[in-house]
Amino acid sequence: MKIISINTGSSSLKFSFFNMTDKSLIASGLFERIGIEGSSYTIKYNGQKIREEIELANHTDAVKILLDKLVTLNIIKSFDEIDGVGHRLVHGKDKYKESCLITDEVINDLIVFKDFAPLHNPANVLGIKAFKEVLPTVPMVGVFDTAFHQTMSEEAYLYPVPYSWYKEHGVRKYGFHGTSHRYIAKTISEKLGRDDLRIISCHVGNGGSITAIKDGKCIDTSMGFTPLAGIMMGTRSGDVDPSIITYIMEQEGLNAKEVIDILNKKSGLLGLSEISSDMRDIVASMNDGNEKAKRAFLKYTRTVTNYIAQYYVLLGGADVICFTAGLGENSEPFRSKVCENLACLGIKIDKDANKVMGEFKKISTDDSNVLVYVVPTDEELMIALDTLKLIN
């Protein structure tokens, strides 16, 4: 069985092609600047990487070229070898509680829900339609970023605002990065041979969210109605007092959309440090004695600590804390500071083990009250696994 995982953006299409017999990655790649001048694709396979600039007028062009290349590069002999296509879908509101076969109803819902993910849902539809056109008989599965968080209770997902906002306009916490958090919970449960774990999953990359998981189910998560909520991120503020929005509108003569744009794209590490949104730059500057970098680092790690502490209490303690994504997998100083902040909970990490980058590893000491692991995420594989399950 061979399955393609697809992540479509408004002008991009990322793919990972798996052999499901051994879950190995056969090929992966990216089509960029679709519909824009200067479009190109990159394909990695067999230890090689090819890149070509080629006109891609739309997503269907990208899919056609992708499939042709899989054949001409001898990755597959014919399209018949593709058993299924899994699509990363962003917003399924409260209707989609798990992955599902893609039908016309799913496509229609993605459009109906577009106000909840204006950049992503329409792009996801473009990807689905392109594959439908080029591979009409191959089954497709949709894997929603929001689905894993659908097990949250009302107490977790409601905001303390007029209830009619929820009933009439769908204002509630949805949560994101669900596929990654689900992969982390599955991986750590398999490795430890237990499915009754209290897990705090920290997906911290450029965007980031923390999720409290009990017995494999999401209890609460830090992102909210949109991915702007929760911990401080690379360029996003995370939680702030909403009154700041109207105050800054008046002070700087901006409209609400412009202020939200700043909270999404010019805040977080970038906003506070005035240096960079990338933790590597922040840590380097901090080590050079830069005070702005230091304050951004301290605020960042504090917001992550706060959520972990909150979820520790919510879960009645924790069996394991997992770090994943760009920073979670690679940043020793980030993990070290967050765990140091949590020392009063009896959390201790091993300095040498914490040097790990991008590998599954236990980083807590044997006398730590909570296990702490680095677990590399693999959303693409999770999408392929769901696809396999549903097409079978």
Residues taking part in catalysis: 145
Cβ partners under 8 Å of residue 150, min gap 6:
94, 96, 97, 98, 218
Nearest to 143 by CA among 84, 97, 99, 92: 99
Binding mask 328-367 for ligand ADP (x = CB under 6 A): --xx------------------------------------
Nearer to ligand ADP, 82 or 338 (CB): 338
Site for ligand ADP (CB under 6 A): which residue of 23, 167, 194, 280?
Answer: 280
Nearer to ligand ADP, 39 or 235 (CB): 235
Stretch that binds ligand ADP, among 34-42, 111-119, 323-331, 364-372 (CB under 6 A): 323-331
Q: How far is the CB of 193 from ligand ADP (least distance, A)?
A: 28
Q: How far is the CB of 251 from ligand ADP (least distance, A)?
A: 30
Nearest to 135 by CA among 73, 66, 234: 66
Instruction: Phi first, then psi: give them for residue 294, nearest 5 degrees.
Output: -65, -45
Q: How many residues does the chain have?
A: 392
376 binds ligand ADP (CB under 6 A): no
271 binds ligand ADP (CB under 6 A): no
Nearest to 19 by CA among 83, 100, 66: 83
202 binds ligand ADP (CB under 6 A): no
Binding mask 165-194 for ligand ADP (x = CB under 6 A): ------------------------------
Site for ligand ADP (CB under 6 A): which residue of 278, 292, 302, 309?
Answer: 278
Q: How far is the CB of 378 from ligand ADP (least distance, A)?
A: 12
Site for ligand ADP (CB under 6 A): which residue of 307, 326, 341, 380?
Answer: 326
Query: Total binding residues for ligand ADP by CB under 6 A?
Result: 12
Stretch that binds ligand ADP, among 32-40, 127-135, 200-208, 297-305 (CB under 6 A): 200-208
Site for ligand ADP (CB under 6 A): which residue of 65, 325, 385, 390?
Answer: 325
Element at 330 (helix H, strand E): helix 325-330
210 to 239, contacts with ligand ADP by CB under 6 A? 234
CB-facing half-sphere around the CA of 283: CA atoms within 13 A: 13
- By the 8 A CB rule, do 325 and 180 touch? yes
The CA distance from 382 to 354, in Å, is 26
- For 132, the 3-state DSSP assignment is helix
Taking CB atoms, the residue at the shortest distance from ligand ADP is 326
How large is the C-alpha radius of gyration of the chain? 21
- Kindly write down the DSSP assignment for every residue of 10-52, as one continuous string: SS-EEEEEEETTTTEEEEEEEEESTTSTT-EEEEEETTEEEEE
- Binding site residues, ligand ADP, CB under 6 A: 205-207, 234, 278-280, 325-327, 330-331
